[in-house]
Amino acid sequence: MEILLEQTEWQGIKLREVAGADRREIPGGTFYDNFYKTLRDQKGLENLDAGWLRQKRSVSRWIETRFLEPMKQRIGDDFKILSLGVGLGIVEVPWLENGYRVDLQECQKSSLEAVAQRFPNATIYIGNAMEIPCPSAAYDLIVMNALDYVFDRKAYETLLHEAARLLRSGGILLGITVSNLDLKTLVSTLLSKTKQKLLGKSLRRVNESIKWGWSRTLGEHLRAGRRAKLNAETVFATTPPDSELVPLKIPSLLWRFYWPNARTVAIHWNKQ
């Protein structure tokens, strides 16, 4: 199952005020380009929310210790990583600093100006993550952190097919979602939508929000992965909500019906 998410602000920027914001459309490249310019000009990239930065750095470190370091030991220095929808590159910069071979991808380039200056040899693909101009089987590890929500069901399946195409046989796709649909979120979203309908569209919050993307259940992610012929090896979740990502022990037949009570869920898929 998946449901539409609405959002009013991000990093203190009112989303309706960003040039190119359209209440009826899920944001695309033009919106994100203007968003990052607004963030830089209004707030300053040195004033990003401290809790948000901490969470990004902790995910970066978790991926490095759980995936990058073991892969380095197994394959050597030569393995290649692609990270999709990297935003400001906060998760990926420590890996570049530590000498990993990381290619970056984003739908706009404003957010990556500083990273491009600092790492002039880094490969940066600008465009749609569903269609990357790169030969097949080029990567050992593909990371998508907080990107899945942008895509509806059909587009998400296309995205996973593209990631599968770009992976070498035996390669890993790591999808980390920060908008996992758990029961609590589903009930509160349905209640708030019903309230909005009953009270009419003049409610301030309704007018201030934009369509932001999709929140989906773990079962929905796994279904999309199966369609792209990706094998879900391990699912991790933050249970309790503020903890580190830990592996979930769920009998494989029940994964489809299991709704982890966590906003952040990570799926380690293997390409055979």
Site residues, ligand SAM (CB under 6 A): 32, 56, 85-87, 90-91, 106-108, 111, 128-129, 145-147, 150
Positions of E strands within the chain = 2-7, 9-10, 13-14, 80-84, 101-106, 124-126, 139-145, 167-177, 210-216, 230-237, 246-247, 265-271
Q: How far is the CB of 172 from ligand SAM (least distance, A)?
A: 17
CB 224 within 8 A of CB 160: yes
Q: Whose Cβ is closer to ligand SAM: residue 111's or residue 215's?
A: 111
Q: How far is the CB of 29 from ligand SAM (least distance, A)?
A: 7
Please give the structure tokens belonging to residue 182.
């758990």
Q: Whose Cβ is closer to ligand SAM: residue 40's or residue 256's?
A: 40
Q: How many helices (H) and strands (E) does the chain have?
A: 9, 12
Q: Whose Cβ is closer to ligand SAM: residue 87's or residue 175's?
A: 87
**Residue in 9, 32, 12, 10 with CA at minimum distance from that of residue 20:** 32
Q: How far is the CB of 176 from ligand SAM (least distance, A)?
A: 8
Q: Whose Cβ is closer to ligand SAM: residue 217's or residue 264's?
A: 264
Q: How far is the CB of 57 from ligand SAM (least distance, A)?
A: 10
Residue nearest to ligand SAM according to CB distances in the complex: 87
Judged by DSSP in three states, 144 sits in strand
Q: Whose Cβ is closer to ligand SAM: residue 129's or residue 210's?
A: 129
Q: Whose Cβ is closer to ligand SAM: residue 82's or residue 91's?
A: 91
Q: How far is the CB of 54 from ligand SAM (least distance, A)?
A: 12
Q: How far is the CB of 184 from ligand SAM (least distance, A)?
A: 21
Torsions phi, psi of 181, nearest 5?
Answer: -85, 105
CA gap 254, 59 in Å, rounded: 27
Sequence letter at residue 260: P
